[in-house]
Chains A and B, each alone.
Chain A
């Protein structure tokens, strides 16, 4: 079974609009962490945001926020006021304590911002 599911292979969004990238996860571990990374066309992996399973507040980092719904096992990334530079692949990943903290990745969502 997929541990991390990103159901949107690709998305087009108008510049300045907000965008939500979906991520659902599967775990029976009580202690885990969820990450979002951005990969521009240049290929590097850029850390965006982290949410711990015990964190009660949704994580925020500038224009990025993580909509964490623990009961639904979802960890959607919200980008407010999108910019042309946000065009990239976005990956959701999970790290579980019971798996020795190995980072498991989703297949990614390709986001294209239209001017």
Chain B
């Protein structure tokens, strides 16, 4: 199992550009989520999905879109990048939404918006 994979690992964007951060998992997990981590802060939930075809907003969804057309993939789209979106982005998955199941994290994408 590869676990949770994220691409790219690093990205630099100019203000106004759009891009998609890729996330995939091969563990047949129902629950997937995207977080951002800013210096001195914990992770903040951007969007999450409890299964294919179902997505919902987290704490900081503005400026981001997601879709979940398959169980395996959960891409995050930045519509028009802004410097405030400079952050480290983590994708995570777990077998189900609740219960004791840990969330498995990808290695992260470090995004800089200039």
A105-B44 in contact given A44-B105, A47-B103 (Cβ < 8 Å):
yes
A40 within 8 A of B: no
- B27 to chain A: which residues have CB within 8 Å? none
The bracket for how many chain A residues form the interface is 20 to 34
Partner of B43, one of A33, A50, A52, A105: A105
What's the nearest-Cβ distance from chain A to residue B62, in Å?
Answer: 16
Contact across chains for B90 and A45 when beta carbons are under 8 A apart: yes
Contact across chains for B98 and A95 when beta carbons are under 8 A apart: yes
Chain A residues with CB under 8 Å of chain B are: 4, 31, 33, 35, 43-45, 47, 50, 52, 91, 93, 95, 97, 100-108
Given A52-B99, A52-B100, A100-B56, 9 additional A-B pairs, CB 8 A: A33-B99, A35-B103, A43-B108, A50-B102, A101-B98, A103-B33, A105-B42, A107-B40, A108-B41
Across the A-B interface, the 3 shortest Cβ-Cβ residue pairs = A105-B42, A45-B105, A47-B102
